Structure 1
């Protein structure tokens, strides 16, 4: 349960960093797309409160029609991962998404300590129920007739995460959330005192929402499955 919370809080931080960087680059040749991919790993950390350290690599994408379409972006990454695995196996190497050959990340923890292992994948997106990123970014630079101005610090963001223990999480980062509202919906409990007899309305999280939401989960599941199958092969049960 601690890992679920740590991943959720790390995702929020990465989403905020994604927002700040996208705001800084908006309108330039290096403008960022609204979606990023996150990969989570843990390594032994005997001095840490729960005995592990969390590591996160991420990939940001330049703005383009392809990077604006999240299902397409995830499907393309899944195909690239499959190709990299096959090509590395043919060359007698074992591919890893953090590299050194054909790395799939361009930020965060680019190298891992010994005995680190994969625990999940996620998406950071700057689209929210307030609107799409491109619309929101334009509104920051062209305030409404009311004269009210907002900054990037006022904008929401959200993340979608799948972990190897079967947990799915939808994490909303809302700078104006009420105190005590962490914005985390999880298919598995985050509270160690959770009673197994209680109903969890988010148990079927990946099947909830409209067609677009379900497609997002479906493509993230495909990418996560590739990583889980490949990176956990040969590990002791």
Structure 2
């Protein structure tokens, strides 16, 4: 792989594994609060930034801020949630102007993670964490855990799957299928660009990743792209020349 392409390949993998960890934490927290008044919704949004870090292998450090929502009818609809968040971002840009950051302090879009960034940190992408999976929607699978426990079966939130989507400023699209029971070596990571820093290929089996899937998946990609383009146009325009 050409030297100039290696940092991006490394960043894609870092973001994929960071997303997996955040999705796991999202799952555990939602499972612990399931059925309570402070229950967490099944969807969250992640914002990715990098800062210069000469001591790191590729010269940068990844920072991730995220937002989770309380359980409600509005936060149960992922496509609608992303659409609403894009509208909020556009309104903040229009009213606050060039000073607005999705990390706040005014008009913050996040409530967890790296909410304070080093000077000069750069926006590189946005992602989604969801507890819905090919095993069913979150509420269905959460109830199945409790039914299994009532029947004496050893099953917990740690056994449940989750998934993530991400779009990056270099055109990367990522889909991460987090399966705690996946076979050794099966990462569940699909990407339209190279992930291996030691290998460059012209054949990428997931190059058409965004075009795949059902209508609900297409809607997620579409709304995530709208949010990503809104944030990128604003945040990258603020960078010094």
| TM-score normalized by the length of structure 2 | 0.93
Runs ≥4 in structure 1, deviation > 4 angstroms?
144-147
Q: How does 1:1-237 map to 2 (within 5 A)?
A: 1-89=9-97, 94-143=99-148, 147-197=152-202, 199-235=203-239
SS of aligned partner of 2:99: coil
* Contact 2:194–2:200 under 8 Å retained in 1: no
* Contact 2:169–2:232 under 8 Å retained in 1: yes
Q: Which runs of 5+ in 1 are unaligned?
A: none
Cα distance in 2 for partners of 1:104, 1:180 equals 35
* RMSD, matched Cα: 1.5
Cα distance in 2 for partners of 1:129, 1:109 equals 30
| TM-score normalized by the length of structure 1 | 0.94
Q: 1:170-192, CA deviations, whole angstroms, 9 ceiling, x for partnerless residues?
A: 01111111111111000101012
How far has the Cα of 1:235 moved from its partner?
2.6
Cα distance in 2 for partners of 1:20, 1:144 equals 16
Cα distance in 2 for partners of 1:204, 1:99 equals 35
Cα distance in 2 for partners of 1:226, 1:118 equals 12
Cα distance in 2 for partners of 1:234, 1:146 equals 57
Cα distance in 2 for partners of 1:38, 1:88 equals 22
How far has the Cα of 1:147 moved from its partner?
4.3
